[in-house]
Amino acid sequence: NRYQQTIKELEQQNAIEKERLRISRDLHDDLGAGLSLILLNTSLAQQKADDRKYVESYLFKISKNTKDLFDNLNNLIWLLKQENQSLDNLFSKIREVISDAFSEAFDNYAIQLPENCKDITICREACRNIFLIIKEASNNAIKHSHASFIQLKADIDSEQVIFQIMDNGKGFDIQSIRHGSNGLNNMKSRTEALNGHFSIETHENQGTTLVIKIPLKSLMP
């Protein structure tokens, strides 16, 4: 009837609006931050335009910023294109993106993700949240861990997918930053959106281990 049709249309409009807000947030977080870095480094290079070595150091930074921006844009486009897909495809994308990042940042790294998961289909929202959780966790380790080794691994049992990111870096006092870290809060909220569990084990100078557990039933379309 007309009432049910109206409710359905309102739900569709609400879903579209939520998607717009998500896209806007991702553009602001990734692309906005990247553009800000490029503008900052360009401005700093201009301050000593007659110092060749100084300018070259900032040109290198600008080149790196531009590559990161391009990669983030590609990842965002990939996420927007995804509909329901196999867990195998998601693992392949994670392996591609994270191996590139780890190879530049760490002396040694390991990525251990299950293969032959084509029979497990996951929904678009689960794909998006898992990818962004792993990307955020990896970026945090690259920026802050000062580690020489890092490992990303995933295991699947009959009920859940378990991700672990472990490094041998400096660790941190989790109580001192728990309430002030947008990155940790984002990862936790994305995990909870999939009815999962997010935990961190870390101590100063003893490395950090992140564990993300997500029920398989929360991944299903």
Mind listing the pLDDT tens digit for each residue in 68-92? 888 878 777 777 776 777 888 889 8
User: Across all residues in the chain, what is the average pLDDT?
Assistant: 84
pTM above 0.85, yes or no: no
- The residue type found at 201 is E
The more confidently predicted of residues 30 and 155 is: 155
Average of per-residue pLDDT across 6-32:
72
Question: What is the per-residue pLDDT for 139?
Answer: 86
Average of per-residue pLDDT across 36-48:
85
Of 16-20, 51-55, 176-180, 213-217, the range with the highest mean pLDDT is 213-217
- pLDDT band (50, 70, 90) for residue 2: confident
- pLDDT band (50, 70, 90) for residue 179: low
Q: Tell me the β-bridge partners of 152.
A: 111, 165
Question: What is the per-residue pLDDT for 181?
Answer: 64
Between the alpha carbon of residue 15 and those of residues 8, 27, 124, 146, the distances in Å are 11, 18, 13, 41
**Residue whose C-alpha is closest to residue 124's, from 9, 7, 19:** 19
Lowest mean pLDDT across 68-77, 155-164, 191-200: 68-77
Q: For residues 212 and 124, give the distance between their C-alpha atoms in angstroms, rounded to a whole number.
A: 18
Asked if the model's pLDDT at residue 21 lies above 60, the reply is: yes
Phi, psi of 199 (to 5 degrees): -140, 155
- What DSSP line would sit under 42-101, residue for residue? HHHHHHTTT-HHHHHHHHHHHHHHHHHHHHHHHHHHHHHH--SEEHHHHHHHHHHHHHHH
Residue 163, SS3 per DSSP: strand
The more confidently predicted of residues 96 and 117 is: 96
**Residue whose C-alpha is closest to residue 151's, from 196, 221, 73, 211:** 211
The more confidently predicted of residues 95 and 19 is: 95
218 alpha-carbon distance from chain centroid: 19
